[in-house]
Amino acid sequence: MIDNLYILLPEIFLTLSIFTVLMIGVFVKKSFNLVFNLSSLILIISILIIFNSSNSEEKIFLNSFMRDAFSNFFKILILIASLFVLNSSKNFISENKIDKFEYPIIILISILGMFFMLSSNDLILFYLGLELQSLALYILAAIDRDNLRSSESGIKYFVLSALSSGLLLYGCSLLYGFTGSTNFDLIANQLNKENTGAIFAMVFILVGLAFKISAVPFHMWTPDVYEGAPTSITSFFAVVPKVAGLALLIKFMLIPFAGILLEWQTIIIFISIASMLLGAVAAIVQKNIKRLLAYSSIGHIGYALAGVATGSISGYESSVVYISIYVIMNIGAFSCLYLMRKDGNYKENISDLSGISKKHPVLAVSFLIILFSLAGIPPLAGFFAKFYIFTSVIEQKMYALAIIGLLTTVISAFYYLKIIKTIYFDESAITFDDVKNKIAKATILISCGILITFFLYPSFLNNIVNSLFINS
């Protein structure tokens, strides 16, 4: 067993690092900057460790922990996203007086929970990882204790997330009861259409996972938490847990629930359609950018779930490509918000963007590229993301799902274009301060660069994603 511990190297390194930076934070006065920089270094080293590890499938601890290409890919994606989210928001954190040394440590703890979730091949390990992630996110949502909205969003997230975790635990218990095992491989052998109790358990597990990725009808926390939490926290919520949640959903469909495709397919199709419709319609009336991005993220999760709903390998691949491009778009969108500061206060309303093309042309162009990509306008990366989803859906002859997806894309394009109209054609309202946030500017440049140039070599990401499912 000890000989195989190298499989756990990223998790061991991350755990020991968390303990180390926590001790530094406790014993060194005014240690935020030091802990923050060390946390960024830990993320970089973790990327290198995983990048240099083998992608071959290996299992330890009675097959409960699994390392493979699929989990490695998502771990790297989570680490890169966290690195950009964390560093682009540093100025914002300091200016809003939430520069507590615990901040980056809590993010590291949530990432550790995601790692265990992604590598889990057992219901117990999966649930432990999920709760480790959730406990960290509860604290993050309410970290700005002096802000009433932040405290409110933390309580809302805690109550609703605790409810979903309870339902998920109930589902896991039922699944164990009806199959006699907590191991994914053994559950897969026991699951069939005649096992009604296990199918009932599957519904509860899907409910819990749908909450984590804020899919309809378990989305109710998303707009309030996005709006109430500080922007730096919102950007993390919008990107990183979504990646882990969707990866886990695909994993459940690939291994334990592979034998009951028709049973869970109907549920996923309903959730996908509902998310796309609500995300498209509800965002139209929003006046707050963060709240609009919340409904936008619900819609985007709907598209990603459409790929999962196909139940095919090509569908899963298209979902992974979609979520990868979604990460790039959202990191860029939230980085733009860090440049919207006036008299020391960060602006969040769409009306604050009125006529900024005249005074802030670079910021205006960045918004234009990101919003066009979110809308799925060719030749930007967002277009390819949706193209792959719709292609995989049509291949499975799920024409109704494809038509609804296309209609919601047209509706969502309306509110993205409305923001662009505000930026370029409305009268100039305010002039933003010159924000000295080089990392946020670099992040915007990188994300916009990827979104624009993606069409030159779209197969690069496709080839990587295809390799994840070779053994499936």
Residue 119 has a CB neighbour count (10 Å cut-off) of: 27
| Dmax (CA) of the chain | 67
CA 136 to chain centre: 15
Intra-chain end-to-end CA distance of the chain, in Å: 26
- The residues near 39 (Cβ < 8 Å, ≥ 6 apart) are 21, 86, 104, 105, 107, 108
Which position has the token pair 């006699």?
180
**Residue 121, both tokens:** 């091949």
- The residues near 180 (Cβ < 8 Å, ≥ 6 apart) are 186, 190
pLDDT at 352: 83
Cα(39)–Cα(107) distance, rounded to whole angstroms? 9
Q: For the residues 80-108, what does the mean pLDDT come to?
A: 87
Contact assessment for residue 419 and residue 367, using Cβ atoms and an 8 Å cutoff: yes
pLDDT digits 0-9 by tens, 425-454:
878 777 787 778 788 889 999 999 999 998
pLDDT at 273: 92
pLDDT at 349: 84
**Model pTM score:** 0.93
**3-state DSSP call for residue 101?**
coil
Tell me the β-bridge partners of 120: 65
β-pairing, 65-67 with 345-346?
A: unpaired
Q: For the residues 363-378, what does the mean pLDDT come to?
A: 90
pLDDT digits 0-9 by tens, 141-150:
888 777 787 8
Q: For the residues 163-179, what does the mean pLDDT come to?
A: 89
| pLDDT confidence tier of residue 323, bands split at 50, 70 and 90 | very high
Cα(254)–Cα(468) distance, rounded to whole angstroms? 12
